[in-house]
A = this chain, B = another copy of it.
Amino acid sequence: MIVTESQGVKHLLKIAVPYLLFSCIYAGIILGIEEFAGDQIYQIPTQIGSVFGLAIAFFLGFRMNSAYDRWWEARKIFGELTNNTRSFVTKIYVYYGNENNVTNSSDGPTGQKASDLISLTIEYVRQLKREMHNQKEPSFEEETVAFFSKYGINLKNKVSNELLVAITQIIEGDFSPKAGLEKNDLMQHMNRFYEIQGKAERIKNTPFLMIYSAFTRIIVTVYILLIPLFIGDIDLGGEKSNLELLAIPIMVIISTVFLTVNKLANLFGEPFSESATSVSIDQICQTIENNCLEIKQKTIGLNS
Protein backbone atom coordinates (compact mmCIF):
# COMPACT_ATOMS: atom_id res chain seq x y z
CA MET A 1 0.00 0.00 0.00
CA ILE A 2 1.09 3.52 -0.71
CA VAL A 3 1.22 5.33 2.60
CA THR A 4 3.09 8.56 2.02
CA GLU A 5 3.03 11.07 -0.76
CA SER A 6 6.67 10.45 -1.60
CA GLN A 7 5.88 6.78 -2.18
CA GLY A 8 3.02 8.07 -4.30
CA VAL A 9 5.45 10.14 -6.35
CA LYS A 10 7.66 7.11 -6.82
CA HIS A 11 4.85 4.89 -8.07
CA LEU A 12 3.44 7.69 -10.12
CA LEU A 13 6.75 8.07 -11.92
CA LYS A 14 6.79 4.36 -12.71
CA ILE A 15 3.45 4.83 -14.41
CA ALA A 16 4.07 8.19 -16.02
CA VAL A 17 7.64 7.90 -17.31
CA PRO A 18 6.86 5.49 -20.17
CA TYR A 19 4.06 7.81 -21.28
CA LEU A 20 6.46 10.73 -20.98
CA LEU A 21 9.05 9.07 -23.16
CA PHE A 22 6.53 8.03 -25.75
CA SER A 23 5.10 11.56 -25.90
CA CYS A 24 8.55 13.10 -26.24
CA ILE A 25 9.44 10.91 -29.16
CA TYR A 26 6.13 11.50 -30.87
CA ALA A 27 6.33 15.28 -30.38
CA GLY A 28 9.89 15.30 -31.68
CA ILE A 29 8.96 13.44 -34.84
CA ILE A 30 5.97 15.66 -35.55
CA LEU A 31 7.92 18.87 -35.03
CA GLY A 32 10.69 17.47 -37.16
CA ILE A 33 8.31 16.84 -40.03
CA GLU A 34 6.88 20.31 -39.68
CA GLU A 35 10.32 21.91 -39.69
CA PHE A 36 11.30 19.89 -42.71
CA ALA A 37 8.12 20.42 -44.69
CA GLY A 38 7.86 24.10 -44.04
CA ASP A 39 6.17 26.08 -41.33
CA GLN A 40 2.48 26.22 -40.70
CA ILE A 41 1.39 23.15 -42.51
CA TYR A 42 -0.85 22.15 -39.66
CA GLN A 43 -3.70 24.48 -39.01
CA ILE A 44 -6.83 23.33 -37.36
CA PRO A 45 -8.80 25.84 -35.38
CA THR A 46 -7.81 25.44 -31.76
CA GLN A 47 -11.31 26.06 -30.47
CA ILE A 48 -12.60 22.67 -31.53
CA GLY A 49 -9.42 21.15 -30.10
CA SER A 50 -10.12 22.72 -26.79
CA VAL A 51 -13.71 21.42 -26.75
CA PHE A 52 -12.30 17.99 -27.45
CA GLY A 53 -9.62 18.26 -24.78
CA LEU A 54 -11.99 19.53 -22.12
CA ALA A 55 -14.64 16.95 -22.93
CA ILE A 56 -11.99 14.27 -22.39
CA ALA A 57 -10.87 15.90 -19.16
CA PHE A 58 -14.45 15.89 -17.99
CA PHE A 59 -15.06 12.26 -18.86
CA LEU A 60 -11.76 11.29 -17.23
CA GLY A 61 -12.69 13.29 -14.13
CA PHE A 62 -15.96 11.41 -13.74
CA ARG A 63 -14.29 8.09 -14.44
CA MET A 64 -11.56 8.72 -11.89
CA ASN A 65 -14.27 9.65 -9.42
CA SER A 66 -16.19 6.42 -9.99
CA ALA A 67 -12.96 4.43 -9.82
CA TYR A 68 -12.10 5.97 -6.47
CA ASP A 69 -15.62 5.27 -5.15
CA ARG A 70 -15.19 1.68 -6.21
CA TRP A 71 -11.81 1.48 -4.51
CA TRP A 72 -13.18 2.95 -1.31
CA GLU A 73 -16.14 0.55 -1.43
CA ALA A 74 -13.65 -2.32 -1.68
CA ARG A 75 -11.71 -0.92 1.26
CA LYS A 76 -14.89 -0.63 3.29
CA ILE A 77 -15.74 -4.27 2.67
CA PHE A 78 -12.51 -5.43 4.25
CA GLY A 79 -13.06 -2.93 7.04
CA GLU A 80 -16.41 -4.61 7.66
CA LEU A 81 -14.64 -7.96 7.70
CA THR A 82 -12.38 -6.61 10.44
CA ASN A 83 -15.28 -5.30 12.51
CA ASN A 84 -17.44 -8.35 12.08
CA THR A 85 -14.63 -10.80 12.84
CA ARG A 86 -13.54 -8.88 15.93
CA SER A 87 -17.00 -8.75 17.45
CA PHE A 88 -17.84 -12.31 16.37
CA VAL A 89 -14.73 -13.68 18.03
CA THR A 90 -15.34 -11.65 21.18
CA LYS A 91 -18.87 -13.02 21.36
CA ILE A 92 -17.62 -16.58 20.85
CA TYR A 93 -15.22 -16.17 23.77
CA VAL A 94 -17.79 -14.52 26.03
CA TYR A 95 -20.75 -16.76 25.21
CA TYR A 96 -18.77 -19.98 25.54
CA GLY A 97 -17.46 -18.68 28.84
CA ASN A 98 -20.99 -18.72 30.29
CA GLU A 99 -21.91 -22.32 31.02
CA ASN A 100 -25.63 -21.55 30.81
CA ASN A 101 -25.29 -21.02 27.09
CA VAL A 102 -23.64 -24.25 26.04
CA THR A 103 -25.14 -27.73 25.88
CA ASN A 104 -23.53 -30.21 28.26
CA SER A 105 -22.12 -32.66 25.84
CA SER A 106 -19.22 -35.01 26.01
CA ASP A 107 -17.49 -33.33 23.10
CA GLY A 108 -14.90 -31.76 25.30
CA PRO A 109 -14.33 -28.62 27.29
CA THR A 110 -16.01 -25.43 26.09
CA GLY A 111 -12.66 -23.64 25.92
CA GLN A 112 -11.57 -26.08 23.20
CA LYS A 113 -14.77 -25.52 21.28
CA ALA A 114 -14.40 -21.76 21.39
CA SER A 115 -10.79 -22.07 20.38
CA ASP A 116 -11.71 -24.29 17.41
CA LEU A 117 -14.37 -21.85 16.28
CA ILE A 118 -11.85 -19.01 16.39
CA SER A 119 -9.41 -21.16 14.41
CA LEU A 120 -12.07 -21.81 11.79
CA THR A 121 -12.77 -18.09 11.64
CA ILE A 122 -9.07 -17.41 11.06
CA GLU A 123 -9.06 -20.06 8.33
CA TYR A 124 -12.06 -18.40 6.77
CA VAL A 125 -10.34 -15.01 6.67
CA ARG A 126 -7.26 -16.64 5.15
CA GLN A 127 -9.33 -18.48 2.57
CA LEU A 128 -11.25 -15.35 1.62
CA LYS A 129 -7.92 -13.62 1.09
CA ARG A 130 -6.72 -16.51 -1.08
CA GLU A 131 -9.86 -16.45 -3.18
CA MET A 132 -9.40 -12.71 -3.70
CA HIS A 133 -5.92 -13.56 -4.97
CA ASN A 134 -7.37 -16.27 -7.24
CA GLN A 135 -5.68 -19.06 -5.27
CA LYS A 136 -8.91 -21.00 -5.19
CA GLU A 137 -7.39 -24.41 -4.57
CA PRO A 138 -4.45 -23.96 -2.29
CA SER A 139 -2.52 -26.93 -0.94
CA PHE A 140 -3.43 -26.96 2.73
CA GLU A 141 -1.01 -28.34 5.28
CA GLU A 142 -1.77 -31.81 6.56
CA GLU A 143 -2.65 -30.49 9.99
CA THR A 144 -5.18 -28.09 8.51
CA VAL A 145 -6.71 -30.80 6.35
CA ALA A 146 -7.20 -32.96 9.43
CA PHE A 147 -8.75 -30.04 11.26
CA PHE A 148 -11.06 -29.35 8.33
CA SER A 149 -12.17 -32.95 7.96
CA LYS A 150 -13.01 -33.00 11.70
CA TYR A 151 -15.68 -30.42 10.87
CA GLY A 152 -16.85 -32.01 7.64
CA ILE A 153 -15.37 -29.43 5.28
CA ASN A 154 -15.46 -30.68 1.71
CA LEU A 155 -12.36 -29.31 -0.04
CA LYS A 156 -13.90 -30.03 -3.44
CA ASN A 157 -16.63 -27.47 -2.89
CA LYS A 158 -15.97 -23.76 -2.52
CA VAL A 159 -13.89 -23.76 0.65
CA SER A 160 -14.99 -20.37 1.96
CA ASN A 161 -18.63 -21.41 1.80
CA GLU A 162 -17.82 -24.74 3.41
CA LEU A 163 -16.11 -22.97 6.31
CA LEU A 164 -19.15 -20.74 6.89
CA VAL A 165 -21.47 -23.75 6.81
CA ALA A 166 -19.23 -25.55 9.30
CA ILE A 167 -19.14 -22.58 11.68
CA THR A 168 -22.93 -22.16 11.44
CA GLN A 169 -23.40 -25.85 12.16
CA ILE A 170 -21.12 -25.86 15.20
CA ILE A 171 -22.94 -22.89 16.67
CA GLU A 172 -26.33 -24.51 16.05
CA GLY A 173 -25.13 -27.68 17.75
CA ASP A 174 -23.36 -26.17 20.75
CA PHE A 175 -25.86 -23.68 22.06
CA SER A 176 -28.50 -24.90 24.44
CA PRO A 177 -32.18 -24.18 23.68
CA LYS A 178 -32.16 -21.63 26.52
CA ALA A 179 -29.47 -19.66 24.74
CA GLY A 180 -31.55 -18.93 21.67
CA LEU A 181 -30.83 -15.21 21.68
CA GLU A 182 -27.09 -15.71 21.95
CA LYS A 183 -27.19 -18.18 19.06
CA ASN A 184 -29.33 -15.81 17.07
CA ASP A 185 -26.86 -13.02 17.69
CA LEU A 186 -24.04 -15.15 16.27
CA MET A 187 -26.25 -16.14 13.32
CA GLN A 188 -26.56 -12.47 12.42
CA HIS A 189 -22.77 -12.37 12.33
CA MET A 190 -22.86 -15.31 9.92
CA ASN A 191 -25.22 -13.33 7.67
CA ARG A 192 -22.72 -10.49 7.70
CA PHE A 193 -19.87 -12.85 6.73
CA TYR A 194 -21.94 -13.98 3.74
CA GLU A 195 -22.67 -10.38 2.83
CA ILE A 196 -19.04 -9.34 3.10
CA GLN A 197 -17.89 -12.25 0.97
CA GLY A 198 -20.58 -11.59 -1.62
CA LYS A 199 -19.69 -7.91 -1.82
CA ALA A 200 -16.01 -8.67 -2.21
CA GLU A 201 -16.72 -11.21 -4.94
CA ARG A 202 -19.01 -8.74 -6.68
CA ILE A 203 -16.23 -6.18 -6.97
CA LYS A 204 -13.65 -8.77 -7.88
CA ASN A 205 -15.73 -10.49 -10.57
CA THR A 206 -17.40 -7.47 -12.15
CA PRO A 207 -14.77 -5.58 -14.08
CA PHE A 208 -15.00 -1.82 -13.96
CA LEU A 209 -16.74 -0.59 -17.09
CA MET A 210 -14.38 -2.22 -19.56
CA ILE A 211 -16.17 -0.69 -22.51
CA TYR A 212 -15.87 2.78 -21.04
CA SER A 213 -12.25 2.10 -20.21
CA ALA A 214 -11.64 1.13 -23.83
CA PHE A 215 -13.46 4.27 -24.84
CA THR A 216 -11.38 6.67 -22.75
CA ARG A 217 -8.15 4.97 -23.75
CA ILE A 218 -8.98 5.35 -27.43
CA ILE A 219 -10.12 8.94 -27.27
CA VAL A 220 -7.18 9.96 -25.12
CA THR A 221 -4.84 8.37 -27.65
CA VAL A 222 -6.59 10.06 -30.54
CA TYR A 223 -6.48 13.40 -28.76
CA ILE A 224 -2.77 13.03 -28.13
CA LEU A 225 -2.09 12.15 -31.72
CA LEU A 226 -3.99 15.26 -32.78
CA ILE A 227 -2.43 17.69 -30.30
CA PRO A 228 0.27 18.82 -32.75
CA LEU A 229 -2.51 19.83 -35.10
CA PHE A 230 -4.21 21.86 -32.43
CA ILE A 231 -1.04 23.67 -31.41
CA GLY A 232 0.52 23.56 -34.84
CA ASP A 233 0.61 27.32 -35.17
CA ILE A 234 3.04 27.47 -32.34
CA ASP A 235 5.70 29.30 -34.27
CA LEU A 236 3.29 31.67 -35.95
CA GLY A 237 4.64 34.59 -33.95
CA GLY A 238 8.00 33.08 -33.35
CA GLU A 239 9.79 35.19 -35.89
CA LYS A 240 12.42 32.65 -36.84
CA SER A 241 13.48 32.21 -33.21
CA ASN A 242 14.22 28.66 -32.18
CA LEU A 243 11.53 28.70 -29.55
CA GLU A 244 9.41 26.22 -31.39
CA LEU A 245 11.00 23.68 -29.12
CA LEU A 246 8.80 25.04 -26.36
CA ALA A 247 6.01 23.14 -28.06
CA ILE A 248 7.56 19.86 -27.05
CA PRO A 249 7.16 20.15 -23.27
CA ILE A 250 3.59 21.36 -23.51
CA MET A 251 2.58 18.52 -25.83
CA VAL A 252 4.41 16.03 -23.69
CA ILE A 253 2.88 17.25 -20.45
CA ILE A 254 -0.71 17.24 -21.62
CA SER A 255 -0.31 13.80 -23.14
CA THR A 256 1.28 12.41 -20.01
CA VAL A 257 -1.37 13.93 -17.75
CA PHE A 258 -4.27 12.43 -19.67
CA LEU A 259 -2.67 9.02 -20.11
CA THR A 260 -1.75 8.91 -16.44
CA VAL A 261 -5.23 9.83 -15.20
CA ASN A 262 -6.67 7.13 -17.42
CA LYS A 263 -4.16 4.61 -16.06
CA LEU A 264 -4.85 5.64 -12.47
CA ALA A 265 -8.58 5.18 -13.03
CA ASN A 266 -7.87 1.68 -14.38
CA LEU A 267 -5.73 0.87 -11.35
CA PHE A 268 -8.25 2.13 -8.78
CA GLY A 269 -10.96 0.28 -10.66
CA GLU A 270 -9.21 -3.00 -9.78
CA PRO A 271 -8.96 -2.72 -5.99
CA PHE A 272 -8.27 -6.43 -5.50
CA SER A 273 -5.41 -6.80 -7.97
CA GLU A 274 -1.98 -7.13 -6.45
CA SER A 275 -0.52 -3.78 -7.40
CA ALA A 276 0.72 -0.97 -5.21
CA THR A 277 -2.57 0.89 -5.57
CA SER A 278 -4.81 -1.99 -4.58
CA VAL A 279 -6.47 -2.46 -1.21
CA SER A 280 -3.92 -3.99 1.13
CA ILE A 281 -5.95 -7.07 1.97
CA ASP A 282 -2.93 -9.09 3.06
CA GLN A 283 -2.13 -6.55 5.73
CA ILE A 284 -5.76 -6.19 6.82
CA CYS A 285 -6.18 -9.97 7.07
CA GLN A 286 -2.99 -10.18 9.12
CA THR A 287 -4.38 -7.60 11.55
CA ILE A 288 -7.65 -9.54 11.81
CA GLU A 289 -5.70 -12.74 12.47
CA ASN A 290 -3.70 -11.05 15.22
CA ASN A 291 -6.86 -9.76 16.85
CA CYS A 292 -8.36 -13.25 16.71
CA LEU A 293 -5.25 -14.79 18.22
CA GLU A 294 -5.34 -12.38 21.16
CA ILE A 295 -8.86 -13.58 21.93
CA LYS A 296 -8.03 -17.23 21.21
CA GLN A 297 -5.31 -16.97 23.84
CA LYS A 298 -7.97 -16.04 26.40
CA THR A 299 -10.09 -19.11 25.65
CA ILE A 300 -7.46 -21.30 27.28
CA GLY A 301 -8.71 -20.00 30.61
CA LEU A 302 -12.16 -21.43 29.88
CA ASN A 303 -10.96 -25.03 29.96
CA SER A 304 -10.33 -25.17 33.64
Contact = CB atoms under 8 A, between A and B. Distances in A.
Interface of A: 1-9, 11-12, 40-55, 57-62, 64-66, 68, 75-76, 79-80, 82-84, 86-87, 90-91, 93-95, 97-98, 100, 154, 157-158, 161, 164-165, 168-169, 172-173, 177-178, 180-185, 187-188, 190-191, 194-195, 197-199, 201-202, 206-207, 209-215, 217-219, 222, 226-227, 229-231, 233-239, 241, 243, 246-247, 249-250, 253-254, 257-258, 260-261, 264, 268, 276-277, 291, 294-295, 298
Question: Is chain A's binding surface mostly helix, strand, loop or mixed?
Answer: helix
A264 B212 contact: yes
A108 B235 CA distance: 91
What is the oligomeric copy number? 5
A30 to B, nearest CB: 13
B187 A185 contact: yes
A9 to B, nearest CB: 4
A79 B234 contact: no
A87 B194 contact: yes
Contact of A231 (B44, B177, B181, B276): B44
Nearest to A196: B83
Given A86-B194, A90-B165, A291 B158 contact: yes
10 contacts: A5-B214, A8-B215, A47-B49, A48-B231, A54-B57, A61-B62, A68-B212, A83-B197, A90-B194, A93-B169
B213 A47 contact: no
Contacts of A295: 165
Given A47-B47, A172-B94, A210-B5, A12 B254 contact: no
A221 to B, nearest CB: 11
Nearest to A165: B90
A202 B201 CA distance: 20
